[in-house]
Amino acid sequence: MGKSPQSKIKAAANNPYVTINANSTDYKVQTYIYNSKGEIKFIDSNSFNGLLFETNYNTPFLLGVLTVNDELNSTVLNKVDLGENSPFSELNSYGDGQEFIRIIVKTKSKEKFACDYTDDVILDKMFVTSKKLNTVQNNIKLVKYYFADIVWAHFENKNKEWSTDLLNEYKLKKVQMKRGQSKVNSGRALKHILIHFSGDDNIIDEDRWDDGIGKVYYTLPAQTPAFTAIAEIMKTYVSSDESGGILTYYNGKFQLQSIRSSINKIYKSSRPRTASDVLLSKTHLGDNFGGAIKIQTNDNRQSYSNKEAGNILGKDFNYIPVDNSNITFIDTQPDATLNTLNKKEVTQFDPKSKQFTIHSGEGTLTAVESKTGLESLPDGSDNKINIDENTVFSNNKSKLFKMTDSNTAMYYGTIKLQKQLFESLTKANFAMPGMIDMSANKFLYMNIALNNKNKFAHKIPGFWYITKNLTTLSKGTFASNINCVKLDKPK
């Protein structure tokens, strides 16, 4: 795939847009489909049906679907004379993988110190179209355009040779090494393949990149997308603080940070040392903070607590209200520690020494708790991992096999169990006004307006890890559905 052509459309106030009224707010939506030949089509109010945006903790990319009305085959029979000076034209599909979508979403907001209204830009981004699907819903013919971050196409569609040998000095010196003995650092291998396929030397956020201590030897099979190699490298990644890694893509750059460091940077609280310092105490939120919600109940009585988790943002913070009827809690399955969260025992075979080593003490919930950084969350010293260790069926375990001479193999059980927490601990699913930036792999703060709390309600206040965000923008609707998981609870 070549570089995407520059859109002729400028984000100016006089450009056409579709108005969406939702949540008592008017949103301006400008959607353009264009291709490498410079053909551009504006999706007007007659064609626009809706937009769906998705972020998921399993992928660093922003994905989505643009749904267009296709009555009278309007998407293909768009031969309209728009005049010589119009930036728009008829749009044709050429099947060359270079069809793009630009989406601009704005809302009117009044400046604090001015009488004029200005537009706040919620989203202004270009995407690559990955698939187009014709369908019928409620007797209406539609075309769905599936899209992703433009850089996604490089890793999905490019066919290039790649091996960790490209990083290895032995190949440069023409020294022959046996297969599997010329391993390289996993973080550096991941960095290399991202640059190699994207063609962008500046695509790595060096300030938020941890090479880690894991090692890997891998050759990408012919005619195989780079995503295959990326997934294999991530399996071998061990962070510098002996934790699993999270690969993200923000502001046009990739970040690789450990789960532990992500938790450590959510917030910093400058606690008062004396009574006179109380008014000066502040909470500093990290760039992985996605927002804060407060669950609204019919209990109007005031509740006071000396727990940090319930007061971390203060009573004057601008919470997003979520009615209790719009949130669903799913507690841990009763047999979670018997299958998904059971002990992970790693059997390591060293091909150099021809010896087996069994790592049985690392893939436990106790080990995960010590390497995940939960102590840096509010009330950390009084909290624990959000599940209890299985003592009755403690011999229940999964066995993993690793053929490597790397001493980082001992951490693989811990990391596998650590990542399974995101699917197995207490979850919450709720609907709220549209917020694309409350994306997966960030944390949200949750509290509840409830005076008398049972044991479950006591573990609600605090930070929750976002695993999924589905945001819908259509006529009369701008809403997000958020999935998140709570990693800690009171002891």
**Residue 137: CA count within 13 A, CB half-sphere:** 12
Structure tokens at 6: 């520059």
- As a whole number of angstroms, the distance between CA 385 and CA 368 comes to 9
Structure tokens at 98: 């270079």
Q: Which pLDDT value is given to residue 205?
A: 98
Show the CA angle centred on residue 139, arms to residues 134 and 145, nearest 5°: 25
Q: Find the radius of gyration of the CA atoms of the chain.
A: 26
Q: Which pLDDT value is given to residue 454?
A: 87
Which residues does residue 473 pair with via DSSP β-bridges, in sequence order?
51, 478
Count, residues in the chain? 491
Q: Which pLDDT value is given to residue 167?
A: 87
- As a whole number of angstroms, the distance between CA 262 and CA 441 comes to 9
Q: CB–CB of 106/10 below 8 Å?
A: no
- As a whole number of angstroms, the distance between CA 449 and CA 427 comes to 19
Q: Which pLDDT value is given to residue 257?
A: 96
Question: pLDDT of the chain along its 491 residues, tens only?
Answer: 445 444 444 444 457 899 999 988 999 999 999 988 888 889 988 899 999 999 999 999 999 999 999 876 767 666 554 555 556 667 778 888 889 999 999 998 765 555 556 789 999 999 999 999 999 998 989 999 999 999 999 999 999 999 998 887 545 555 555 554 578 999 999 999 999 999 999 999 999 999 999 999 999 999 999 999 999 999 999 999 999 999 999 999 999 999 999 999 998 876 554 444 444 446 789 999 999 999 998 876 656 666 777 778 877 888 999 999 999 999 999 988 888 899 999 999 988 888 999 998 888 999 999 889 898 888 888 889 999 888 887 788 899 898 887 778 889 999 999 999 999 999 999 999 999 999 999 999 999 988 778 889 989 999 999 999 999 999 999 999 999 999 999 98
Neighbour count for residue 177 (Cβ, 10 Å): 13
Distances (CA, A) of 200 to 2, 97, 160, 192: 12, 19, 15, 11
CA 23 to chain centre: 25
Which letter, b or e, does each residue of 326-335 get, where b requires 16 or more Cβ atoms within 10 Å of its Cβ? ebeeeebeee
